[in-house]
Amino acid sequence: MSGLRGLNVVRAPSPPSDASFTTRLRSAAVAARVGLVLGICFGIAFVTGLISHYAQNVDQPVPFPTSPSWGYRVTQGLHVVTGTACVPLLLVKLWTVYPKLFQRPPGDVRRLTLEVLERASIGVLVASAIFQLASGLANVTEWYPWDFSFRPTHYALAWVAIGSLLVHVAVKLPIIRGALGSDVDATTYDRPSATRPAALSRRGLLRATWVATGVAVLAVAGNTVPFLRRASVLAPHSGGGPQDLPVTKSAFAAGVTSSATSAAYRLEVVHGDRSVSLSREQLLGMDQQTEKLPIACVEGWSASGTWTGVRLRTLLDLVDAPAGSDVVVTSLQERGAFRHSTLPGNFAADHRTTLALALNGEPLAIDHGYPARIIAPNRPGVLQTKWVTRLEVLT
Amino acid sequence: MRGRTLIGTLGVLLGLYGAWLLVSRQDRAQLVGAAKWLVAGVVLHDFVLAPLTLVVVAGLARLLPVSHRAPAAVGLVVLGSVTLLAIPVLGSFGAQTHNPSLLDRHYVIGWLVLAALTVACVVVAGERRRRTP
């Protein structure tokens, strides 16, 4: 790649300039091709991120659909996989344009102003892009080494990243078009000093980038694609766990170990002044249904489970809840943002939505929400409330 | 030109919306935390990772025979980027004692296997290039 000579110039008394970088690999021809794929991956991550954000919103002008049941599993899996794919792509992209950082500013005021503005937009793009990838990769392992709140920050900076990406594309459009329209070895847009052949050809560097991206994807995709589980040596979840299903929040972490196993446990179903109180035995005595539904976590892992329990609609009928009402689900958890979740009317009415008492043929494990949990189709896992103690119909 | 102006304007608007979202929904301490991460990412890339890459590439160029340089460059792109994205799992910083299903692989062994495979591919490709000049 850049080789010895570039480094020797760096050691020279004058500070490095873009002319110090002489390999012909650091070129617009390579940057445009890697940038195109990187831009597509950022676009997919942006759109799937918006879907995930919307699915978690309490206020939804247009109700999030309940079908297909695997929809969120696919969009959130794609979100994390494309985000991971961006790491090699962004690194190579930044490597090819690194000399630009040392470019001497132009003399006249008009061009200088434009250059300052362009560099500011690039600075915002690079900072937000690195931020999104680094914070996302830490978040999928539940590592939070920061003071900010992850979800609003990752969401806000997604808009900043995609906005500055559009500005970057608008500024570079003629070069992008020209570079993509001509041969990868064309020298039209090369810097004058970038003439030294490197160990790799430009095609070789591009192939290396695609291979690195493929390896990165394979190394993590088993988080959500079952047949890749064995190959994905860097996936945060192997797919195993109690009853063959991973866990994001354990009963211990939620502080419900004693309340969930207490004989005093009751499920309250409330609608206005009507209410019903049911023990787990009474719930088990009701008609049971079995549904195969995925748990798809916002952290990007997903797995399918076979859930058995009482259809939610049956429980709501006990208190004469009108069809299509929203239902607030309350957990035994005493604190935390996900102590409550709201099941929108269309989810509460869906026949597949179940208050699950068993998973994969066994009584629900405590880490999966014993004595009872909500499982609905096409929902972020964080809203599939565990250790459910109260269902309140909103009127 | 009109198309470019349109894309650029849309980009500025989306970016400003993001900036407004960022500053309007968190307190000062959280914003300072986010700003630190934004700056640290750029500084770590531009002034640590990029120069380090220059040094590693220069070192490999000096140590390796010509036949092995191209395969080694490919190996560096693959292993370097995958190692960087694996930092959170390699360190298992998010591990929780009561959740054995999180970070439940032997990541260091997995990484060593990946590294060994990469080095093996580089050596085999390099030897083949040496024999067929």
Which residues, in sequence order, are CB contacts of A297 under 8 Å at separation 6+? A76, A246, A248, A380, A381, A382
Using pLDDT thresholds of 50, 70 and 90, give the confidence band for residue A11. low
B99 vs A128, A169, A247: nearest CB: A247
pLDDT at A245: 93
Q: Please tell me the distance in Å from A235's CA to the nearest CA on chain B.
A: 8
Tell me the per-residue pLDDT of A182-216, one tens digit each, with 9 for 90 and over: 999 999 999 999 999 999 999 999 999 999 999 99
How close A255 gets to chain B, by Cα (Å)? 11
Using CA atoms, how far apart are residues A99 and A196, in angstroms rounded to an integer?
Answer: 14
- Using 50, 70 and 90 to split pLDDT, how confident is the model at A59? confident
For position A335, what pLDDT does the model report?
85
- Identity at A51, one-letter amino acid code: I
Average pLDDT, chain A: 94
B115 touches chain A (CB under 8 A): no
Tokens of A239: 């797919």
Assess whether the previous peptide bond of A371 is cis (omega < 30° from 0): yes
| Spatial CA neighbour of B45 closest among A128, A282, A255, A278 | A128
- Please check whether residue A125 is in contact with residue A165, taking contact to mean a CB–CB distance below 8 angstroms: yes
- Element of type H or E holding A7: helix A3-11
Nearest by CB to residue B21, choosing from A146, A159, A233, is A159
Report the mean per-residue pLDDT for chain B: 95
CB contact B86 to A (< 8 Å): yes
CA atoms of A219 and A41, how far apart (whole Å): 17
Closest residue in A to B61 (Cα–Cα): A3
Task: State which H helix or E strand residue A34 sits in.
Answer: helix A28-56
**Residue A215, both tokens:** 């390896």
Identify all chain B residues contacting A143, using CB atoms and an 8 Å cutoff.
Answer: 88, 93-94
pTM: 0.94
Q: What are the φ/ψ torsions at residue A357 (nearest 5 degrees)? A: -115, -20
User: Residue B82 — pLDDT band, cuts 50, 70, 90?
Assistant: very high
- The span from the CA of B76 to the CA of B83, in Å, is 10
Q: What is d(CA A61, CA B51) in angstroms, rounded to the nearest whole number? A: 50
Residue A363 is classified by DSSP as E
Residue B12: is it exposed, middle or buried by C-beta count within 10 angstroms (0-12/13-18/19+)?
Answer: middle
Amino acid at A278: L
Query: CA of A89: how far to CAs of A145, A207, A216, B12, B78, in Å?
Result: 25, 11, 10, 24, 11
If contacts are CB pairs under 8 Å, which of residues 20-79 in chain B contact chain A?
21-22, 25-26, 29-34, 37-39, 41-42, 45-46, 50, 53-55, 57-58, 61-62, 66, 69-70, 72-74, 76-78
**C-beta separation of B105 from B77 below 8 A:** no
Residue in chain B lying closest to A92 (CA): B77
Distance CA A260, CA A379 (A): 24
Report CB contact under 8 Å: B80, A91.
Answer: yes
Tens digits of residue pLDDT in A12-44 = 557 788 899 999 999 999 999 999 999 999 999
Average pLDDT over every residue of A264-271 = 97
CA A249, A255, A261, A266 torsion-angle sign: negative
Q: Convert A267-294 to b/e letters by CB count within 10 Å (16 or more is b).
A: bebbbeeeeeebebeebbebebbebebb
- Nearest-by-Cβ selection for B93 from A145, A204, A216: A145
| Range scoring the smallest mean pLDDT among A125-139, A192-206, A227-241, B116-130 | A227-241
Residue A85 in this model has a pLDDT that exceeds 50: yes
pLDDT tier, A4 (very low <50, low <70, confident <90, very high otherwise): very low
HSE-up of residue A202 (Cα within 13 Å, Cβ side): 24
- Which residues of chain A does B96 touch, with a Cβ-Cβ cutoff of 8 Å? 142, 250, 253
| pLDDT tens by residue, B83-112 | 999 999 999 999 988 888 899 999 999 999
Res A1: pLDDT: 44
Give A205's contacts in chain B (Cβ within 8 Å).
Answer: 73, 77
Q: A325 near A274, Cβ under 8 Å?
A: no
Per-residue pLDDT tens digits for A333-373: 988 888 999 999 999 999 999 999 999 999 999 999 999 99
Neighbours of A335 (CB within 10 A): 8
* A141 → closest Cβ in B13, B22, B89: B89
Q: Over the stretch B7-50, which tens digit does the pLDDT of each residue have?
A: 999 999 999 999 999 999 989 999 999 999 999 999 999 999 99
Q: Count of CB contacts below 8 A, A vs B?
A: 263
A4, A163, A208 ranked by CB distance to B77: nearest: A208
CB A39 within 8 A of CB A165: yes
Residue with tokens 């392992």: A141
Q: Say yes or no for a CB contact (<8 Å) between A198 and B58.
A: no
Q: What is the CA radius of gyration of chain B?
A: 22
Q: Which residues of A touch B31 (CB under 8 A)?
A: 148
Best of A41, A159, A203 to substitute, by most chain B Cβ atoms within 10 angstroms, is A159
* Rounded average pLDDT over B57-79: 95
For residue A353, the model assigns a pLDDT of 98
d(CA A245, CA A239): 6
Q: What SS3 string covers B40-99?
A: HHHHHHHHHHHHHHHHHHHHHHHHCCHHHHHHHHHHHHHHHHHHHHCHHHHHCCCCCCCC
Looking at residue A6, what is its pLDDT?
46
Give the Cα separation of A150 and A136 in Å (integer): 9
Cβ separation A212–B81 shorter than 8 A: yes
pLDDT at A3 over 50: no
Measured in degrees and rounded to the nearest 5, phi and psi for residue A47 equal: -65, -45
Q: How far apart are CA A332 and CA A268, in angstroms?
A: 12
| ipTM of this complex prediction, to 2 decimal places | 0.97
Q: Using CA atoms, how far apart are residues A32 and A16, in angstroms rounded to an integer?
A: 24
Q: What is the mean pLDDT of residues A260-279?
A: 96
Q: In B, which residues are within 8 Å of A208 by CB distance?
A: 73-74, 77-78
Peptide bond into A106 cis (omega under 30): no
C-alpha–C-alpha distance, residues A25 and A32, integer Å? 12
CA distance B129 to B131: 5
